[in-house]
Amino acid sequence: MSEVALSAALETENTVWTEQDSWFDRIPRSVAMAALAVVAIGLWQAVSWSGLISPIILPSPGDTLRHLIFVGGNLLSGGYMLQSLWVTLQELVLSFALAVGIGFALGVLVGETAFGERAVMPYLVAVDTMPKVAFAPLFIAWLGFGIESKVALATFIATFPIVVGTAAGLHASDENARMLFKTMGASRWQTLVKMKLPTGMPQFFTGLKIASVGVMAGVITGEFLGGGRGFGELIRVASTNLDTARVFALILYLSLLGLLSFGLVAWAQRRVVFWQSASVAREVG
Amino acid sequence: MSRSLTAAELPAAPATRGDRTVFALRGVGKTYARRNIEALGRVDLTLDAGTFSSVIGASGCGKSTLLKIMAGLVPPTSGSVMLAGRPVTGPRRDIGMMFQQATLFPWKTTLENIVLPIEIRDGRAAARVHHGNAHALLELVGLKGFEGVYPKELSGGMAQRAAICRMLITEPEVLLLDEPFSALDELTRDFMNMELQRICLQRGATAFLVTHSIPEAVILSDTVYVMSPRPGRIVETVAVDLPRPRTLDMVTTPRFGALVDRIRSHLDKGSFL
Ligand SMILES: Nc1ncnc2c1ncn2[C@@H]1O[C@H](COP(=O)(O)OP(=O)(O)OP(=O)(O)O)[C@@H](O)[C@H]1O
Ligand SMILES: [Mg+2]
């Protein structure tokens, strides 16, 4: 490098902050995501053209697209699939609401009272370590093949993260805040409602996000094992018919629903916990 | 240094500007049961109305413990604490307290944070009634126009000023201050100390300050108490007879230097006891 070039380089280095990221890290997010999707679908297409894998195991992208359009058309025209989706949606909303109610109440019990922490928490931890899906046959035996058994399983799965989130949130307030509330003569109830609960909102919402994913898993598992008229049943039927492309299409619509519910919780979090910066929200959630 | 006062020539008795005893501590001691730590020896202390006192001592000597006992946050293991003639058995409304951290709540605006003590005490409606007072206080500390701002948009010094307003909103007679400005840079800190003096003089409040800074203790106080290392006891009471209102340039006067030296010598002695 000549002396002139070197000094020029030094000068730019001193005056302009050079980005440390490589070109690879500087690709805009939308472009990066689109590129990745194109590559993945290209690979998928290549594999199905090669004929190495039977379409029963891996349908072609084209087949999947046809089924996507068919399912989408059925949903939009109010066909039987929309009715299934409606059943599943009801199960999702019901179980999420139940999980929030029960999880929040248990979380406050565990996070706020010594009795809850000493006597209730050990049992919760014990139950939480069990593979909860294994309870599905029990719920079906107890509650039958209607939506009740699915709601019960999904609620069962989604309650624990909310308990943990709520309790963790109640422990998040610092010594100074608690002392300040004491000096102000705040009652235990006031301290809980005006300080501990708001302070713990980020952790609570982390629990809600995990729960929103959990209810989906619970509801679909319940529908696989317990029949009924939901979306999971459609998937089960399609897969018994070895209609793998249909299964793919149904799963895609289901994941859209999952994204939607997760997005709703994230949106609510931004509204409720408005003081939490975006980067922290991403870290916690 | 020919005509400066030597330490021995300085008055040793506490300066009493007030005529009414606000705080009276007799033989107050504290042993934390959990690890059997004797945090506080026997402390005797009398604070008169309208006076400013500071306590200074090594880290861990029990200053915060003393303040918490006075505020009724922690019960003493021995001795008695009287505030305005009544024993302290729990948090009291006539006390305002400030800590090293401002501890503003991020979901409330500056104004809502300031009226929080009223909201806790008398409810939301009463808190709204006090919005006018809160505005006046914000103006007093130079935060006019920041009423609707959320705390994360305030600098450290601004947050502490808001905390001062929150402490003052209930018009407490006694201010207990635990290193309130030690997290601030020196310039801001000097400024805040002068603000504090102005507020105390204006309101005739009785203040008790915990600090690590000898100059800060001297510039603000009528009386400086020097504490020994743990278990903390008051080993020296230094009366500061600089005229009021104090100004920052008093720091360069020989008298100020002599007082600082005297306190430092006691602190040094204490650390070898
Ligand atoms: N809640 C507690 N439980 C047990 N020990 C405690 C507790 N609070 C304080 N201590 C102990 O008591 C002693 C005095 O603590 P304190 O906080 O009063 O000191 P301090 O003088 O305020 O120190 P600093 O200047 O560092 O703030 C320390 O040794 C500390 O470990
Ligand atoms: Mg302390």
- What integer pLDDT is reported at residue B5 of this predicted model? 39
How far apart CA B211 and CA B192 sit, in angstroms, is: 14
How far apart CA B260 and CA A126 sit, in angstroms, is: 61
The percentage of chain B sitting over the pLDDT mark of 70, rounded to a whole number, equals: 91
**Is residue A133 included in any domain, yes or no?**
yes
Looking at per-residue pLDDT, the higher value among B33 and A166 belongs to A166
**pLDDT mean over B232-260:** 90
- What integer pLDDT is reported at residue B41 of this predicted model? 87
CB B234 within 8 A of CB B202: no
- What integer pLDDT is reported at residue A17 of this predicted model? 62
Question: With 70 as the cut, is the pLDDT of residue A278 above it?
Answer: no
Question: With 70 as the cut, is the pLDDT of residue B18 above it?
Answer: no
What's the mean pLDDT when you consider all of chain B? Answer: 86
**Is residue B1 included in any domain, yes or no?**
no
- What integer pLDDT is reported at residue A181 of this predicted model? 94
Centre of ligand 1 to C-alpha B24, Å, is 22
Same domain, B23 and B40: yes
Same domain, B195 and B239: yes
- Predicted model pTM: 0.83
**pLDDT mean over A24-44:** 90
Which domain-ending residue is among B152, B171, B190? B171
Total tally of structural domains belonging to chain B: 2
- What integer pLDDT is reported at residue B141 of this predicted model? 84
Q: Express each pLDDT in B86-129 by its tens digit.
A: 999 988 888 999 998 899 999 999 999 999 999 999 999 999 99
**Is residue B2 included in any domain, yes or no?**
no
Same domain, B197 and B163: no
Q: Do A179 and B73 touch (CB under 8 A)?
A: yes
Domain ranges, residue A217: 73-284
Q: Express each pLDDT in A213-226 by its tens digit.
A: 999 999 999 999 98
Q: Express each pLDDT in A106-153 by its tens digit.
A: 999 999 999 999 999 999 999 989 999 999 999 999 999 999 999 999
Which domain-ending residue is among B126, B142, B171? B171
Chain B residues touching residue A190 (CB < 8 angstroms): 120
Domain ranges, residue B152: 104-171
Total tally of structural domains belonging to chain A: 1
Residue of chain B nearest A183, judged by CA positions = B91
**Is residue A216 included in any domain, yes or no?**
yes
What's the mean pLDDT when you consider all of chain A? Answer: 89
Which amino acid residue places its CA nearest to atom 17 of ligand 1?
B64
| CB atoms inside a 10 Å sphere around CB A110 | 23
Which domain-ending residue is among B136, B171, B206? B171
How far apart CA B236 and CA A230 sit, in angstroms, is: 80
How many angstroms away from the CA of B72 is the closest CA of chain A? 8
**Is residue B39 included in any domain, yes or no?**
yes
Question: With 70 as the cut, is the pLDDT of residue A10 above it?
Answer: no
Question: With 70 as the cut, is the pLDDT of residue B3 above it?
Answer: no
CB of B157 within 6 A of ligand 1: the answer is no
**Furthest-apart CA atoms within chain B: distance in Å:** 63
How far apart CA B16 and CA B21 sit, in angstroms, is: 10
- What integer pLDDT is reported at residue A5 of this predicted model? 53
Q: Do B91 and A275 touch (CB under 8 A)?
A: no
CB B170 within 8 A of CB B110: no
- What integer pLDDT is reported at residue B94 of this predicted model? 86
How many angstroms away from the CA of A176 is the closest CA of chain B? 7
CATH of the domain at B263: 3.40.50.300
How confident is residue B231, by pLDDT bands cut at 50, 70 and 90? confident
